[in-house]
Chains A and B, each alone.
Chain A
Amino acid sequence: MTTIGTPVRRREDYRFLTGGGTYTDDINRPGQLHAFILRSPRAHAQIRGIDTTAAQRAPGVVAVYTGKDMAADGIGGLPCGWQIHSKDGSPMAEPPHPVLAVDRVRYVGDPVAVIVAETLAQARDAAELVNVDYVAQPAAIDPVTALQPGAPQVNSEAPGNLCYDWQLGDLAAVDAAFSKAARIVKLDLTNNRLVPNAMEPRAAIGEFNRATGEYTLYTTSQNPHVIRLLMGAFVLHIPEARLRVVAPDVGGGFGSKIYHYAEEAIVTWVSGKVNRPVKWTAERSESFMSDAHGRDHVTHVELALDAEAKFLALKVSTVANMGAYLSTFAPCIPTYLYGTLLAGTYTTPAIYCETKAVFTHTVPVDAYRGAGRPEATFLLERIVDLAADEIGMDPAELRRRNFIPKEAYPYQTPVALQYDSGDYRATLELALEAADYQGFEARRREAMAHGKLRGLGIATYIEACGIAPSAVVGSLGARAGLFESAAVRVHPTGSVSVLTGSHSHGQGHETTFSQLVADTLGIPIDSVEIVHGDTAKIPYGMGTYGSRSLAVGGTAIVKAMDKVIAKGRKIASHLLEVAEADVEFKDGKFSVAGTDRSKTLGEVALTAYVPHNFPHDELEPGLDETAFYDPKNFTFPSGAHIGQVAVVNFTASDDFGRIINPLIVAGQVHGGLAQGIGQALLEGCVYDKASGQLLTGSYNDYAMPRADDLPAFALSTNTTLCTHNPLGVKGCGEAGAIGAPAAITNALVDALKPLGVRHLDMPATPEKVWRIIQQHRTPPAAE
């Protein structure tokens, strides 16, 4: 019996389809109050004073607190989980990040006060009565101009608004390669700022139990243990044993729900102050101005090629916007999740990357689906296409010529990573075949005959998933380990609870992990329960991000099951009165090799919990094992994506290693593609450069991809197994968002090439494309 590799329908769907999900805002605690967060309407201002007198007297209001009240209670600032060092060895500038602004606001949306009332309407009404005396200051919004002398300063701890000036790679080797290059291709590009927009707005409920002194936080989080550690140890100073964090059903994350946010600390702290549960739920407009944004790079890239069109060297210089404060993992995104990916799928022998991270008066920026890897892929695949165009070579051929050959693994790149497996050429050929690459020129001519421009764009990508190992990331500045935990608890009658540190917010872990357990232990899927998202139940674990859940969390489950089977074999050998070596475990049974004598997992479990006939001298009772898995390396999914605008057709071929549930994997790719195509064609977060007002603050202004903006997707997979985890899995959650922006943009530029267009920044909205066509239009030549 094996369910692995088959499209098992999801176990979690019944509750979601019948309205039975339990999201944070669905939870109501007895005596619960409602919090409204008053936010800064200005990008940059000094706070001369806050008068809350009238608000405190408003109907239903229980309390109003400001940053000064928090400071008086000794509440700490929001911590950052990664420290980057600059070229000169100095640590990054790390300004304090107050939970509620104290004397200065630094972005539109910066929390200023919290109003707590019996109803949300009363809290919102009372917020109108809080009088904040702002003295407006000039704002630094554009990341490049923010670095220029005389720019308004965001934080006094970061002179010139520079957070760090980081580098990776061998500059001397790169310069030497450029000096002997046959051709150098250069490009300036931006990677547009995005708003993650999980459909469930963030929410948090704090609850204090005066009898036990215990706090509980219900929150929309991808990693409840991380929130407990950060909030408990650094912000509110509550020991783990008195702080429980629950992340129940979570309605999408895409990275934006990794971080420890101010509102979590606010409701938890306030619940203790007023001794009643306190709920806060973001309105969508609050999500736009308080969820960590993504991307926002300005980059100059140069590629050197020899006369045979082999890549000699790559040189990248990037300005990355951090926003006003450092979000939890912000510093590592444009560095170790970006520069390290610049080899892509190619043998480029010399690579140099430098990144200046800059503070601006905007919402903090952090990881959003792909996180650094889409930015790396976009610049790399754009410059490769541009190079193909300049030398007059088929872009597929230029890629083939430079691919890392499949015989070369393990392959050490010049930017720190060692790839373990892949076959980029086969994956590309699969995509080209699926997209009918050979037939494209005929389709282009056909479109031309009807007065339309048609383009095809290829992008290949490499992704580093399951960021690891802890010892290495620690040396690179991570302030946390990146392992995962799992406990496999076999109950007395043989059903199984798996307590996992991974968190599911749409990924279907309750199904995929159950398949893994059911197949390994030989029990029905219905006998398996997957428990996640509650620090009171699960072992300390790191949660879900960076496409790590199966490769890291799944492996921890495998290792815990290995321990269960090993102990079960000992118990069975006692029951069957044979040597342990003679007992084998298969299809849910411990059998004596070569006989029909066996004990089921349930019988062994019952013996473990009712140990009347049990080897007490040798074993402890029970059948409940915990394992922690710290990967040896990242996993490296790869792929080739082909877009044909506008968007007529989208073909993705990916290598995710072994696939446990093809239905769920396809769903992950579809979703990633929609976000990648959204970035390429629709989505862009826009600030007014002078006032710092967020111009795209709602779904009226920020173009989310809708069903009629997208095509049906054609997917295929080419499998090479990951060599260093027992499952051979690689990770699939971010692939679509990584490959699609470059594939779509390359297709657009390909379509517009006859007009002389060389590059197009994202999002290529219809208006932008129309303007470019008008600018480049020349009267048709007479034939």
Chain B
Amino acid sequence: MQKTVSLTVNGKPVSATVEGRTLLVQLLREQLGLTGTHVGCDTSQCGACVVHVDGEAVKACTLLAVQADGHSVLTIEGVATGDTLHPMQEAFRNNHALQCGFCTPGMVMSALDLVKNNPNPTERQIREYLEGNLCRCTGYHNIVLAIAEGAAVMRGEAPPNVHGAAAE
């Protein structure tokens, strides 16, 4: 069974023909070419595929493409403004919160969702919120610092810059 779906992705209207079993993440990656959203597992636990649907964080492997029909999707490709990173992306860079980069898009999308609901999260709250996002490289230490810094900047505070400055 094929169906045509129309949705808004990163602010642009798109249409595609999908199978009933096509997942949102497959639509994004394989038909729309938005390969920043990753697939790291088949049990909806790793969180590498987190996107926002109508402003809510969703694992794009748990939603059928047809369920996204008529909705608005934000992926990692739509987070920066032009060439300027979003403060949360900048905080990940500043805190070395990514190594191989594979979990990173999902981490950033989850972090934005956390901060939307809790603008000033504690370390414990950040760690507990990341329950649904696996990272194998960083040990989470710098991701936790990055999310705290990203939240601070989004609140209008100066970044604490715990790692110091590099020589230029």
**Within the assembled complex, what's the spacing in Å between the Cα atoms of A26 and B33?**
8
Contacts of B38 in A (CB 8 A): 23, 199-200, 251
Q: Which of B1-9, B130-138, B151-159 contacts A (4 or more CB under 8 A)?
A: B130-138
Q: Which of B52-60, B62-70, B100-108 contacts A (4 or more CB under 8 A)?
A: B100-108
In the assembled complex, the CB of A514 is this many whole angstroms from the nearest CB of chain B, namely 12
Of residues A3, A283, A706, which shows the largest number of chain B Cβ atoms within 10 Å of its Cβ? Answer: A706
**Do B93 and A19 have beta carbons less than 8 Å apart?**
no
In the assembled complex, the CB of B114 is this many whole angstroms from the nearest CB of chain A, namely 11
**Do B127 and A708 have beta carbons less than 8 Å apart?**
yes
**Within the assembled complex, what's the spacing in Å between the Cα atoms of A284 and B39?**
9
**Within the assembled complex, what's the spacing in Å between the Cα atoms of A710 and B131?**
12
Q: Which residue of B lies closest to A701 (CB)?
A: B43
Residue B120 is within 8 A (CB to CB) of chain A in the complex: no
Chain B 15-47, CB-CB to A under 8 Å as 1, else 0, gives: 000010100000001100011111111110110
**Within the assembled complex, what's the spacing in Å between the Cα atoms of A699 and B133?**
12
**Do B100 and A663 have beta carbons less than 8 Å apart?**
no
Residue B141 is within 8 A (CB to CB) of chain A in the complex: yes
Residue B80 is within 8 A (CB to CB) of chain A in the complex: yes
Residue A558 is within 8 A (CB to CB) of chain B in the complex: no
Contacts of B37 in A (CB 8 A): 19
Contacts of B99 in A (CB 8 A): 252, 506-508, 667, 671
Interface residues in A465-506 by Cβ distance below 8 A to B read 505-506
**Do A284 and B41 have beta carbons less than 8 Å apart?**
yes
Of residues B36, B48, B77, B143, which shows the largest number of chain A Cβ atoms within 10 Å of its Cβ? Answer: B36
**Do B46 and A284 have beta carbons less than 8 Å apart?**
yes
In the assembled complex, the CB of B79 is this many whole angstroms from the nearest CB of chain A, namely 7
**Within the assembled complex, what's the spacing in Å between the Cα atoms of A646 and B120?**
27
**Do A710 and B134 have beta carbons less than 8 Å apart?**
no
Chain A interface mostly helix, strand, loop or mixed? loop
Interface residues in B101-145 by Cβ distance below 8 A to A read 101-105, 108, 123-124, 126-128, 130-131, 133-144
**Do A707 and B144 have beta carbons less than 8 Å apart?**
yes
Residue A131 is within 8 A (CB to CB) of chain B in the complex: no
Q: Which residue of A lies closest to B37 (CB)?
A: A19
In the assembled complex, the CB of A367 is this many whole angstroms from the nearest CB of chain B, namely 16
In the assembled complex, the CB of A597 is this many whole angstroms from the nearest CB of chain B, namely 28
Residue A53 is within 8 A (CB to CB) of chain B in the complex: no
Of residues B39, B92, B167, which shows the largest number of chain A Cβ atoms within 10 Å of its Cβ? Answer: B167
**Do A251 and B35 have beta carbons less than 8 Å apart?**
no
In the assembled complex, the CB of A639 is this many whole angstroms from the nearest CB of chain B, namely 16
**Do B41 and A698 have beta carbons less than 8 Å apart?**
yes
**Do A200 and B138 have beta carbons less than 8 Å apart?**
no
Q: Which residue of A lies closest to B40 (CB)?
A: A199
Contacts of B85 in A (CB 8 A): 14, 17-18
A20-B36, A200-B38, A707-B144 known; A252 and B19 CB under 8 Å? Answer: no
Contacts of A663 in B (CB 8 A): 96, 163
**Do B136 and A704 have beta carbons less than 8 Å apart?**
yes
Chain A 658-676, CB-CB to B under 8 Å as 1, else 0, gives: 0000011011001111110
Q: Which of A5-13, A170-178, A347-355, A435-443 contacts B (4 or more CB under 8 A)?
A: A5-13
In the assembled complex, the CB of A528 is this many whole angstroms from the nearest CB of chain B, namely 14
Contacts of A707 in B (CB 8 A): 126-128, 130-131, 133, 135, 140, 143-144
In the assembled complex, the CB of B62 is this many whole angstroms from the nearest CB of chain A, namely 14
**Do B98 and A199 have beta carbons less than 8 Å apart?**
no
Contacts of A10 in B (CB 8 A): 93, 96, 98
Residue A527 is within 8 A (CB to CB) of chain B in the complex: no
**Do A671 and B45 have beta carbons less than 8 Å apart?**
no
Contact among A3, A201, A507, A700 with B45 in the assembled complex (CB-CB below 8 Å):
A700
**Within the assembled complex, what's the spacing in Å between the Cα atoms of A666 and B145?**
13
Of residues B42, B126, B137, B168, which shows the largest number of chain A Cβ atoms within 10 Å of its Cβ? Answer: B137
**Do B163 and A7 have beta carbons less than 8 Å apart?**
yes
Q: Which residue of B lies closest to A196 (CB)?
A: B136
**Do A9 and B93 have beta carbons less than 8 Å apart?**
yes
In the assembled complex, the CB of A17 is this many whole angstroms from the nearest CB of chain B, namely 4
Chain A contact residues (Cβ within 8 angstroms of B): what range? 35 or more
Chain B contact residues (Cβ within 8 angstroms of A): what range? 35 or more
**Within the assembled complex, what's the spacing in Å between the Cα atoms of A284 and B38?**
12
**Do A13 and B92 have beta carbons less than 8 Å apart?**
yes
Of residues A18, A22, A250, which shows the largest number of chain B Cβ atoms within 10 Å of its Cβ? Answer: A18
Q: Which residue of B lies closest to A28 (CB)?
A: B30
**Do B130 and A197 have beta carbons less than 8 Å apart?**
no
Contacts of A23 in B (CB 8 A): 35, 38, 102
**Within the assembled complex, what's the spacing in Å between the Cα atoms of A713 and B75?**
31
**Do B134 and A16 have beta carbons less than 8 Å apart?**
no
A6-B166, A251-B101, A674-B140 known; A708 and B131 CB under 8 Å? Answer: yes
Of residues B30, B34, B45, B141, which shows the largest number of chain A Cβ atoms within 10 Å of its Cβ? Answer: B141
**Within the assembled complex, what's the spacing in Å between the Cα atoms of A673 and B139?**
7
Q: Which residue of B lies closest to A287 (CB)?
A: B41
Q: Which residue of A lies closest to B125 (CB)?
A: A708
**Do A19 and B105 have beta carbons less than 8 Å apart?**
yes
Contact among B19, B100, B141 with A251 in the assembled complex (CB-CB below 8 Å):
B100
**Do B35 and A506 have beta carbons less than 8 Å apart?**
no
Contact among B94, B126, B137 with A671 in the assembled complex (CB-CB below 8 Å):
B137
Contacts of A28 in B (CB 8 A): 30
Contacts of B100 in A (CB 8 A): 198-200, 249-252, 505-506
Residue A615 is within 8 A (CB to CB) of chain B in the complex: no
A16-B104, A199-B40, A674-B140 known; A1 and B167 CB under 8 Å? Answer: yes
**Within the assembled complex, what's the spacing in Å between the Cα atoms of A19 and B104?**
9
**Do A7 and B165 have beta carbons less than 8 Å apart?**
yes
**Within the assembled complex, what's the spacing in Å between the Cα atoms of A708 and B30?**
33
Q: Which residue of A lies closest to B75 (CB)?
A: A19
23 A-B residue pairs with CB within 8 Å: A6-B164, A6-B167, A9-B93, A13-B98, A17-B85, A18-B36, A20-B77, A25-B35, A121-B21, A198-B102, A199-B40, A199-B46, A200-B40, A200-B100, A252-B99, A252-B137, A506-B137, A670-B142, A671-B137, A698-B45, A705-B139, A707-B128, A708-B124
List residues of B whose CB falls within 8 A of some A CB.
Answer: 19, 21, 29-30, 34-43, 45-46, 48, 75-77, 79-80, 85, 89, 92-94, 96, 98-105, 108, 123-124, 126-128, 130-131, 133-144, 163-168
| Closest 4 pairs (CB-CB, A-B) | A19-B36, A16-B101, A251-B102, A674-B139
Beyond A17-B80, A251-B40, A700-B45, 11 additional contacts (C-beta under 8 Å) are A12-B101, A17-B76, A18-B85, A18-B89, A19-B34, A21-B36, A666-B96, A698-B42, A699-B43, A706-B134, A710-B127
